[in-house]
Amino acid sequence: MRNTKKNITNKVRLSLFVLLFLFSALLIVADKGVAAENVNGRKPLWNEINISRIRDIPVDGNIEFFFCADLHIPFDDRGIVKKIVRQANSRKPDFVLLGGDLVQMGLPNYYTTLKKVLRKFRVPVISAIGNHDTSFSDYSDQRQWKKFFGNTFFYFDAGPARFIFLNNANFDLKDAQLGFLENALKTDLQKFIIMHRPVGYVNKLYITPLKGGSERFRELIEKAGVTAVMTGHEHHYGSYEVDGIKYIVSGGAGGRLNTNTKNNYHHYIIGNVGKDTFSFQVITL
Ligand SMILES: [Fe+2]
């Protein structure tokens, strides 16, 4: 009899503990909502959940992140993605930023494989959408992405910086995103843009860069004094400076490498941001 009572008490305690844990998790997710497209009426998805997992960093603190793009799962070359996961889990940056083309094509089974890979990261991972993450026959068909990752343009703040994610998978930045960008740039924090396609004005060899909205984009980021624009799409490494803004093209996280540009090697970027500083290094794989 005494044992039965004890078992019941233990079960009640365990249930209360589980309830408390779930309630706390919900509060954490709700606390760090991000400005973006409509998120009302649905549960948080991958990017939102991962943003909520980023540690609280003071505005005068320092952050370290990894950035890479073009994994092209399941056709990533030479186990590059595995190496990046291993190195991130060992070094433990504050978060990993991905610049799109996570899958070769937006098929449900490719997304299933992608989810297994992403869940191996033991640090938060936040991603932009690439043209290969769509149905591919139609870059505007982004249903698979939205089902798993959520919104396709949004921002989050971490310590001294704001990270603004845009969606140019279908070539363009239309008025809705340019308006969102203009508002998102209104901050004293350092500003970083993450999107998939690079801008064409940094390298004439880029044959499918951002097209519509490119000029307005350039005006907005120059006026706001953006620190860096980080993109992928071109499967190589490139670094440029235009209008005093740094442009980093890092498309070397597993997809087949370009042959028409230089610096065509697999790699990722480690970025460090302080209150008024930004530095980065290229890690070749
Ligand atoms: Fe790619």
CATH number at residue 215: 3.60.21.10
12 & 82 share domain: no
187 & 235 share domain: yes
267 & 239 share domain: yes
163 & 136 share domain: yes
Residue 14 Cα to ligand 1 midpoint, Å, equals 47
Domain count, the chain: 2
Residue 235 Cα to ligand 1 midpoint, Å, equals 6
By the CB criterion, residues less than 5 angstroms from ion ligand 1 are: 70, 101, 255
DSSP sequence for 123-166 = S-EEE---GGGS-SSSTT--HHHHHHH--SSEEEEETTEEEEE-
pTM of the complete model: 0.86
Domain that holds residue 22: 1-31
pLDDT band at 31 (very low <50, low <70, confident <90, very high): very low
The DSSP bridge pattern shows strands 95-98 and 125-127 to be parallel
168 & 268 share domain: yes
Residue 255 Cα to ligand 1 midpoint, Å, equals 6
Residue 128 Cα to ligand 1 midpoint, Å, equals 12
H-run or E-run covering 242: strand 237-242
129 & 208 share domain: yes
16 & 112 share domain: no
Cα torsion 91, 257, 226, 53: sign: negative
8 & 116 share domain: no
6 & 135 share domain: no
When mean pLDDT is compared across 24-33, 44-53, 169-178, 234-243, the lowest value belongs to 24-33
Q: Could you give the CA distance from residue 223 to residue 38 in angstroms, rounded to a whole number? A: 27
Q: Which amino acid is at 148?
A: F
Q: Render pLDDT for 257-278 as a digit per residue (tens, 0 to 9).
A: 998 889 999 999 999 999 999 9
156 & 126 share domain: yes
Q: Could you give the CA distance from residue 83 to residue 184 in angstroms, rounded to a whole number? A: 34
27 & 40 share domain: no
When mean pLDDT is compared across 22-26, 163-167, 182-186, the lowest value belongs to 22-26
Helices 214-224 and 175-184, interaxial angle, to 10°? 10
In the block, residue with structure tokens 């589980």: 18
Residue 101 Cα to ligand 1 midpoint, Å, equals 5
74 preceded by cis ω (within 30°)? yes
Q: Identify the pLDDT of residue 244.
A: 96
Q: What is the mean pLDDT of residues 198-202?
A: 97
As beta bridge partners, residue 238 has 249
C-beta pairs of 108-117 under 8 Å, 24+ apart in sequence: 108/144, 110/73, 110/74, 111/144, 111/148, 113/73, 113/74, 114/71, 114/73, 115/148, 117/71, 117/73, 117/81, 117/85
- Which three-class secondary structure state does DSSP give residue 76? coil
User: Helices then strands (H, E): number in the chain?
Assistant: 7, 11
252 & 164 share domain: yes
